[in-house]
A = this chain, B = another copy of it.
Amino acid sequence: MFFASDNAGPAHPQVIQALADVNSGYAVGYGAEPGMDRVRNRLRDVFEAPKAEVFLVATGTTANSLALATLTQPWETIFCSPTAHIHEDECNAPEFYTGGAKLTIVGTDDKMAAASLRASIEGEETRGVHGPQRGPVSITQVTERGQIYTLDELSELTATAHEYGLKSHLDGARFANALVALDCTPAEMTWKLGIDAVSFGGTKNGCLGVEAVLFFDPGHAWEFELRRKRGGHLFSKHRYLSAQMGAYLTDDLWLDSARRANAACTRLATGLRSLPGVSFDLEPQANIIFLQMPRAAHQRLRAGGAEYYVLAGNPDSGAPDEMLPARLVCDWSISDAQIDQFIALARG
């Protein structure tokens, strides 16, 4: 019963098999292997973007940092949510890769609102050369709190960015989870709305460690390649990245895995919702739940071997009915049996 993170589950067996399949003979490295051509073409098809430039890296922090560094000057500021991974969980990687750009926090909510974004943009660059200059907007879809922007909400954000001549980046570490929840196409969730660059996650959804970065304007390609190399992120045996991504994109494995994770989360949420004393901080929309649960339930769960993050308070001692917040994440591999066992333990 592991609900601590969707990056702690295994890779999908088809992805492992793809590594074995590609592991024979010699292959030119550094992304020049045939498998990368197939990945590039496949992602261009998936995104209906025949001119998009596609690159692979091994971690989400890298995908975000390199994409943003390519879009941002060192004297600019990137607009993002207070809960954005680039702000809270990357140990200043965006500041490092951009050469010292700033992040401007938009509003106080997990999801940025267009009005808040506008206010933040207006708040910068009233000082000419003295203040940070306006840089790109980075949007996280699914958010770190498990929320999903509707296409209309995304459109309002990108329209606001473009009104000021700013680029926009989508942190899609859970791109597939959002896509299946919205039931739209990749193009509809990105370039048709004016998104310029996408971090397209694979790691959390069944790969070992691979993320794609897409630029819909191919003019960024060479700079990105140089940044990737000098960041140490260009793999010599690149075939093992393209094999992962290739398998992930084959026969809609990426969409199936996301549907599994989201469905698991729905099953989990439905079960928990019926329990006395349990409440959701936010309505779950993808594969993440933020909830409040009595200490007694936490104690039963932990004693029963469930793993997840209690976000505040001491689950081990205190009043049994005190509510403690927790985060639960479902990955593609979680079984119904595990979910049901979790609910049963919580119910007590």
Q: A residues touching B (Cβ–Cβ < 8 Å)?
A: 2, 4-5, 7-11, 13, 16, 19-20, 23-30, 57-62, 65-66, 73-77, 88-93, 95-103, 105, 127, 129-133, 203-204, 208-209, 223, 225-227, 229-237, 240, 307
Residue of B nearest to A235 (CB): B209
Shortest C-beta distance, A314 to chain B (Å), equals 15
* 18 chain-A/chain-B pairs, Cβ below 8 angstroms: A7-B236, A7-B237, A13-B23, A16-B23, A59-B233, A66-B232, A74-B92, A77-B92, A89-B127, A89-B130, A90-B230, A92-B102, A95-B101, A98-B100, A129-B229, A129-B234, A209-B235, A231-B231
Q: A236–B59 Cα gap in the complex (Å)? A: 8
Q: A73–B19 Cα gap in the complex (Å)? A: 36
Give the chain B neighbours of A4 by CB distance below 8 A. Answer: 26, 28
| Across the A-B interface, the 4 shortest Cβ-Cβ residue pairs | A62-B232, A2-B26, A7-B236, A95-B100
Q: A230–B97 Cα gap in the complex (Å)? A: 9
Shortest C-beta distance, A1 to chain B (Å), equals 9
Shortest C-beta distance, A37 to chain B (Å), equals 16
Q: Is the CB of B130 within 8 A of A90?
A: yes
Q: Is the CB of B237 within 8 A of A11?
A: yes
- On whether A96 and B230 interact (CB within 8 A), knowing A27-B8, A209-B237, the answer reads yes
Give the chain B neighbours of A91 by CB distance below 8 A. Answer: 75, 129-133, 226, 229-230
- On whether A232 and B65 interact (CB within 8 A), knowing A27-B8, A129-B226, A130-B91, the answer reads yes
- On whether A9 and B26 interact (CB within 8 A), knowing A65-B232, A93-B230, A95-B101, the answer reads yes
